[in-house]
Amino acid sequence: MRRLLTAAFAFLLTAMPALAAPETITVSAGEAKREFILHAPAPSSEPSPVVLVFHGGGASAEWMANRSADLTRTLTRAGYAVVYINGSTKRRTDKLRTWNAVHCCAYAAKSKINEAAYADAVIDALGARLGIDRTRIFLMGHSNGAMRSYRLAGQIKTAPRAIAPVSGAIFADQPSLPARTSVFMYHAVDDEVLSYDGNPDDKAERWRTAPHVGFLKAETKLAEMKGCAAAVASPATPGVTITARTCAGASSLTAITALSGGHEWPARPAAYDIEDALLTFFDSQR
């Protein structure tokens, strides 16, 4: 039996289309040169949907890619191009990078880095290289990167089909989102870095110039901005609450509350597979 299972597993591996090795690509964003890491799907006659992944504050594209092997594998095997993009730092290092989310964080916010120009350059470079589906661009971010995805959606030339902020936050001056842009938002109740309730005494407060909005209030605010219907509870795993709304512009708003898992990526309740949840959500946005 063991030999049969081993042979079957080996057959499945060889039957899967080969994925290209990751590439590090440099683009010009204004006067700056910035890099991103591309994990391309197997070649296809169809244009590839794209997921741009924004790391958390103090990390980097390489760090995020290393921590996200399951996410990369899940999405690329489903035909997505997965792109890890790099924040900014004033030091000559590949670490300690942040995003300009206006009220956070550190160097990128203080220097008012133009993140939209960078994201536009990345999408254009991907279009020239792969042949991408510009109707299915997704922004997925963690922490400071999630903050950036909330604000970036209405600033880039190609309106994203959806954003997926994980353990992030909006602020009181959150700009409007494009009508076509859906939202998948996730937060843990025991998050001690960006508190679930928006308390002003969490550990990362010193990196922000304004208090963030608590998760449930943020969901309500986004629902009002996007003209969404009433929330409907969805099936969930133990320790996870999911609500979904249909919104104007054929978009949707899905909010996931986890009782545990904290702040760090990719921590989450043991029974909840966030990679599969993200793939299911992205696949639904057509």
Does residue 8 fall inside a structural domain?
no
In angstroms, rounded to a whole number, what is the distance separating the alpha carbons of residues 233 and 131? 37
**What is the per-residue pLDDT for 13?**
43
pLDDT band at 276 (very low <50, low <70, confident <90, very high): very high
121 beta partners: none
Share of the chain above pLDDT 70, in %: 91
Print the domain residue range for 248. 20-284
Give me the pLDDT at residue 176, please. 97
Residue 150: CA count within 13 A, CB half-sphere: 33
Flag the least confident range among 90-94, 139-143, 192-196.
90-94
State the pLDDT at residue 219. Answer: 98
Q: What band does 206 get if pLDDT is binned at 50, 70 and 90?
A: low
Q: Is the pLDDT of residue 15 over 60?
A: no
pLDDT at res. 19: 66
CA pair distance 145, 168, nearest whole angstrom: 7
Q: Would you say residue 270 lies in a domain?
A: yes
The whole-number average pLDDT for the span 230-250 is: 95
Question: What is the pLDDT at residue 4?
Answer: 47
pLDDT digits (tens, 9 = 90+) for 137-192: 999 999 999 999 999 999 999 999 999 999 999 999 999 999 999 999 999 999 99
Please list, in sequence order, all residues whose beta carbon lies within 8 angstroms of the beta carbon of residue 85, skipping any fewer than 6 positions away: 34, 36, 37, 52, 53, 54, 61, 118, 119, 122
- Angle 211-99-218 (CA atoms, 0-180°, nearest 5)? 40
38-52 pLDDT, tens digit each:
999 999 999 999 999
- Nearest one of 156, 191, 186, 167 to 52, comparing CA atoms: 156
Give the pLDDT score at 205. Answer: 64
Q: Which of 59, 23, 16 is nearest to 38 (CA)?
A: 23
Quick one: tokens of 120? 């536009």
Q: Is residue 107 part of a domain?
A: yes
Contact 62, 85 (CB under 8 A): no
Minimal CA–CA distance to 278: which of 197, 209, 182, 200? 182
Q: Is 156 helix (H, G, I), strand (E, B) or coil?
A: coil
Number of structural domains in the chain = 1
CA nearest 75: which of 278, 252, 269, 285? 278
In a domain, 268, yes or no: yes
Is the distance from CB of 68 to CB of 53 less than 8 angstroms? yes
Which backbone phi and psi does 149 adopt, to 5 degrees?
Answer: -65, -35
Q: How confident is the model at residue 200 (pLDDT cuts 50, 70, 90)?
A: confident
Give the pLDDT of residue 9. Answer: 44
Share of the chain above pLDDT 90, in %: 83
Write the CATH number for 206. 3.40.50.1820
Is residue 10, in this structure, part of any structural domain at all? no
- For residue 5, being part of any structural domain is answered with no
Task: Write down the pTM of the prediction.
Answer: 0.92
Estimate the crossing angle of helix 115-129 against helix 144-152, to 10 degrees: 80
Examine the pLDDT at 204 and tell me if it is beyond 90. no
Query: What does the mean pLDDT of the chain come to?
Result: 91
Is the pLDDT at 229 greater than 50? The verdict is yes
Residue 41 within any structural domain of the chain = yes
Q: Is residue 253 part of a domain?
A: yes
Q: How confident is the model at residue 14 (pLDDT cuts 50, 70, 90)?
A: very low
